[in-house]
């Protein structure tokens, strides 16, 4: 069961990177309850979508997250699943086989599950990750060719090049063999960027990447090595693992050092690392690799922790002032000119009780006590940042920027496109600024960038209006697997929310680059014929391009914008439902949906108004880089 919590790890050819079998960072999965996929018994994990997560019906016995690998278990798929899941635990040193071939948690694995700050436990394992290692015993990564710390090598490249794109990680990082190669790889990436910038078009850029990868294969084949056929999955997974450490964040297409963590990364890289030489000795290797407290991180000293506390207090005071000014209308929001508001008097803001007496901890204070203070302060800072950003984002300009951002996400030119699709859709509804509450279920980092997608046992987003709820589900899947992975879970999520939201009606939007006919048929049948628990489940399938057309009028100060956007959006959804009830098939419903969108746009903007720009022609913008930076 435990092995199912982790992404699978497949080492193919020379690639040394992870390939995920789920969308979850494994550290998060280990600590998050309830399960990651839809349970047959929703009472085991009943969630109040209008409030907080309710206690599990099984009380003190938490349900372990799992992911179904097949509808029926067979000897073959059971062996594959166990091997794939257990391999990830073992790879990072969280479990090891004892002399009797029994899998046991290492101290690092125990701390990951039961201890605080699992992201730092994982960071230590990444720092110890080396080639050659015991798991391959020099067979795949022989010591005469490999002497590499992958995390350190990638960290040095990110620092040197101001970030790395997914293409750059896939083409250059996974073929490094020795730490001495890092400067040459950095130079090669800079040359690649110049060439990449001169090439226009997705197809031509893909051809350029394939040519480069083929050249690397030929070069390494001469040394008796081979490179995996595709690096895309490896690059996606590596980016997720780096972000999970909280040292790195995504900025559009690049993975960069998170704001405020530059000194921490520099301190990590300042100390040279020496490969663990006795990797062929199983007990010695896992005593080293599975240790929970090594290596010691630079910021774990009491003096450094106290300085961190002081910095957080100062930051929170600044954030509290900014939040107060925005909430009382004394500070300009995004897109508003600065002016006389800056001169308005502001009353002194007392620090909240949780901040009192945190400043001057004595030198002999236990490290754990200092960490508890830091965790509390970081939580308060995160709350304030989300509150501030939510207020500042409520402008037509920010809504227009979010709508433009769909194009690079759909084209997969960002780090972790599925997660960024959820994140950007949340930003759209925040900027829409007509909801009572907007509840995303994805994780955010300290830069308010997405860390990982919403858990699989719930919706991606719930938007609460005064008289209805709007559930939003998104996916980048386009083909026949769209129905298999999306239609049944989505309808169950909406049904669960309907039961908790009574008497408030629940509507749902399903957004994807394209809607497969099988998916549309499932939603059509669930809505028109009430085949699930005899309840009408209104899930409206929309192409992302259609959703952009619907939201664009709200991104303009034009007088044609509906006077009551929330009511207008509900009326539009009810038109979609009426179109379903009038249709004979799911495919006919899709055609009618397109007609409804065109008619609704025409009624708002006039018959001769310019239509929304096609999705491929929208100009991508930086991810809200225009937002005024908060002092840290």
Q: What angle do CA 381, 384, 388 make, to 5 degrees?
A: 135
584 — pLDDT class (breaks 50, 70, 90):
very high
597 — pLDDT class (breaks 50, 70, 90):
very high
Q: What is the pLDDT of residues 539-580, one digit of tens each?
A: 999 999 999 999 988 887 664 556 688 888 999 999 999 999
Q: Is the pLDDT of residue 362 over 70?
A: no
Q: What share of the chain is helix, strand, coil (3-state, %, to 5)?
A: 50, 10, 40
Query: Class for domain 412-617, per CATH?
Result: alpha beta
Four-point Cα dihedral 36, 40, 41, 47, nearest 10: 40
Q: Which range has the worst mean pLDDT, 14-23, 401-410, 411-420?
A: 14-23
Q: Supply the pLDDT for residue 199.
A: 72
Q: Supply the pLDDT for residue 207.
A: 77
Q: Supply the pLDDT for residue 58.
A: 25
364 — pLDDT class (breaks 50, 70, 90):
very low
Q: Supply the pLDDT for residue 351.
A: 42
Where would I find the beta strands (DSSP E) of 226-347? 248-251, 254-257
- Name, of 51-55, 144-148, 610-614, the range with top average pLDDT: 144-148
Share of the chain above pLDDT 90, in %: 28
- Sequence ranges of the chain with CATH classification 3.40.91.50: 412-617
| Mean local confidence (pLDDT), 306-322 | 89
Burial (0-12, 13-18, 19+ Cβ within 10 Å), 169: buried
Q: Which residue has the higher pLDDT, 456 or 432?
A: 432
Q: Is the pLDDT of residue 122 over 60?
A: yes
| Distance in angstroms (rounded) separating the CA atoms of residues 219 and 221 | 6
Q: Does the predicted model carry a pTM greater than 0.85?
A: no
Q: Supply the pLDDT for residue 454.
A: 81
Q: Is the pLDDT of residue 85 over 80?
A: no
Q: Can you read off the two tokens belonging to residue 14?
A: 């020379």
100 — pLDDT class (breaks 50, 70, 90):
confident
| Mean local confidence (pLDDT), 86-93 | 81
Residues in CB range of 335: below 8 A, 6 or more apart: 395, 396, 397, 398
79 — pLDDT class (breaks 50, 70, 90):
low
Q: Which residue has the higher pLDDT, 17 or 249?
A: 249
Q: Supply the pLDDT for residue 347.
A: 46
| Distance in angstroms (rounded) separating the CA atoms of residues 129 and 152 | 9
Where would I find the beta strands (DSSP E) of 101-197? 103-105, 164-165
Paired sense of beta strands 95-97 and 103-105, if any: antiparallel
Residues in CB range of 322: below 8 A, 6 or more apart: 331, 384, 388, 630
Q: Supply the pLDDT for residue 542.
A: 96
Q: What is the pLDDT of residues 512-549, one digit of tens each?
A: 999 999 999 999 999 998 888 888 899 999 999 999 99
| Mean local confidence (pLDDT), 468-488 | 90
332 — pLDDT class (breaks 50, 70, 90):
low
Total Cβ atoms within 10 A of residue 347: 7
Q: Supply the pLDDT for residue 526.
A: 92
Residues in CB range of 559: below 8 A, 6 or more apart: none
Q: Supply the pLDDT for residue 72.
A: 52
Paired sense of beta strands 469-474 and 461-464, if any: antiparallel
Q: Which range has the worst mean pLDDT, 18-27, 335-344, 345-354, 440-449?
A: 18-27
Q: Supply the pLDDT for residue 606.
A: 57
Q: Which range has the worst mean pLDDT, 273-277, 328-332, 343-347, 567-571?
A: 343-347
Total Cβ atoms within 10 A of residue 378: 16
- Name, of 299-308, 337-346, 399-408, 618-627, the range with top average pLDDT: 399-408
Total Cβ atoms within 10 A of residue 247: 22
Cβ pair 422, 474 in contact under 8 A: yes
| Distance in angstroms (rounded) separating the CA atoms of residues 569 and 508 | 12
Q: What is the pLDDT of residues 224-253, one digit of tens each?
A: 666 666 677 788 888 888 998 999 998 878
Looking at every residue in the chain, the average pLDDT score rounds to 75
Total Cβ atoms within 10 A of residue 227: 21
Q: Supply the pLDDT for residue 339.
A: 45
Q: Supply the pLDDT for residue 535.
A: 86
407 — pLDDT class (breaks 50, 70, 90):
very high
Q: Which residue has the higher pLDDT, 284 or 63?
A: 284
Residues in CB range of 399: below 8 A, 6 or more apart: 428, 431, 432, 433, 551, 554, 555
Burial (0-12, 13-18, 19+ Cβ within 10 Å), 40: exposed
Q: Which range has the worst mean pLDDT, 277-281, 294-298, 301-305, 556-560?
A: 556-560
Q: Which range has the worst mean pLDDT, 101-105, 168-172, 446-450, 625-629?
A: 625-629
Q: Supply the pLDDT for residue 15.
A: 53
Sheet arrangement for strand 506-512 = 437-440, 461-464, 469-474, 506-512, 539-543
| Mean local confidence (pLDDT), 390-418 | 87
């Amino acid at each position: 069961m435990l092995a199912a919590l982790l992404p699978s790890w497949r080492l193919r050819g020379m690639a040394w990177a992870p390939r995920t079998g789920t969308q979850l960072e494994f550290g998060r999965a280990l600590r998050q309850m309830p399960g990651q996929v839809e349970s047959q018994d929703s009472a085991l994990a009943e969630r109040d979508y209008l409030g907080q997560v309710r206690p599990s019906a099984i009380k003190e016995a938490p349900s372990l997250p799992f992911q179904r690998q097949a509808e029926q278990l067979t000897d073959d798929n059971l062996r594959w699943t166990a091997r794939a899941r257990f391999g990830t635990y073992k790879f990072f040193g969280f479990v090891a086989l004892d002399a009797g071939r029994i899998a046991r948690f290492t101290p690092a694995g125990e701390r990951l599950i039961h201890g605080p700050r699992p992201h730092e436990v994982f960071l230590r394992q990444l720092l110890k990750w080396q080639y050659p290692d015991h798991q391959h015993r020099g067979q795949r990564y022989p010591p005469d060719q490999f002497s590499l710390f992958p995390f350190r090598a990638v960290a040095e490249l990110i620092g040197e090049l101001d970030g790395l794109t997914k293409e750059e990680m896939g083409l250059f990082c996974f073929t490094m063999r020795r730490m001495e190669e890092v400067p040459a790889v950095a130079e090669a990436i800079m040359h690649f960027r110049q060439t990449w910038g001169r090439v226009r078009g997705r197809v031509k850029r893909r051809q350029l990447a394939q040519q480069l990868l083929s050249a690397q294969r030929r070069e390494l084949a001469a040394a008796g090595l081979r490179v995996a056929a595709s690096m895309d999955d490896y690059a996606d997974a590596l980016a997720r693992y780096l972000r999970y450490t909280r040292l790195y964040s995504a900025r559009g297409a690049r993975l960069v050092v998170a704001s405020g963590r530059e000194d921490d990364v520099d301190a990590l890289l300042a100390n040279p690392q020496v490969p663990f030489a006795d990797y062929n000795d199983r007990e010695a290797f896992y005593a080293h690799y599975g240790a929970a407290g090594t290596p010691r991180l630079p910021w774990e000293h009491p003096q450094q922790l106290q300085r961190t506390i002081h910095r957080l207090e100062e930051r929170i005071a600044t954030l509290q002032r900014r939040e107060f000014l925005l909430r009382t209308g004394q500070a300009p929001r995004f897109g508003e000119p600065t002016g006389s508001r800056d001169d308005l008097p502001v009353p002194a803001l007392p620090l909240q009780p949780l901040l009192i007496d945190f400043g001057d901890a004595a030198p002999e204070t236990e490290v754990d006590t200092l960490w508890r203070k830091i965790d509390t302060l970081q939580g308060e800072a995160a709350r304030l940042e989300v509150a501030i950003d939510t207020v500042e984002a409520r402008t037509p300009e920010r809504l227009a920027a979010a709508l433009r951002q769909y194009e690079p996400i759909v084209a997969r030119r960002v780090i972790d496109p599925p997660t960024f699709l959820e994140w950007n859709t949340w930003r759209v509804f925040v900027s829409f600024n007509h909801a009572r509450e907007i509840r995303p279920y994805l994780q955010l980092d300290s830069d308010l960038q997405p860390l990982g997608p919403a858990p699989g046992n719930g919706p991606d987003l719930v938007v609460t209006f005064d008289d209805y709820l709007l559930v939003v589900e998104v996916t980048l899947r386009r083909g026949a697997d769209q129905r298999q992975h999306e239609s049944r879970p989505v309808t169950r999520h909406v049904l669960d929310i309907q039961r908790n939201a009574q008497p408030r009606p629940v509507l749902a939007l399903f957004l994807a680059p394209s809607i497969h006919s099988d998916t549309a048929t499932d939603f059509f049948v669930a809505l028109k014929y009430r085949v699930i628990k005899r309840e009408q489940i209104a899930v409206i399938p929309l192409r992302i391009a259609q959703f952009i057309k619907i939201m664009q009028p709200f991104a303009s100060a034009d007088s044609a914008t509906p006077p009551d956007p929330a009511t207008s959006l509900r009326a539009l959804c009810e038109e979609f439902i009426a179109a379903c009830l009038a249709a004979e098939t799911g495919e006919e419903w899709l055609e009618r949906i397109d007609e409804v969108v065109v008619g609704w746009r025409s009624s708002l903007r006039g018959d001769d108004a310019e239509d929304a720009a096609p999705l491929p022609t929208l100009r991508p913008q930086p991810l809200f880089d225009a937002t005024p930076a908060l002092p840290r």
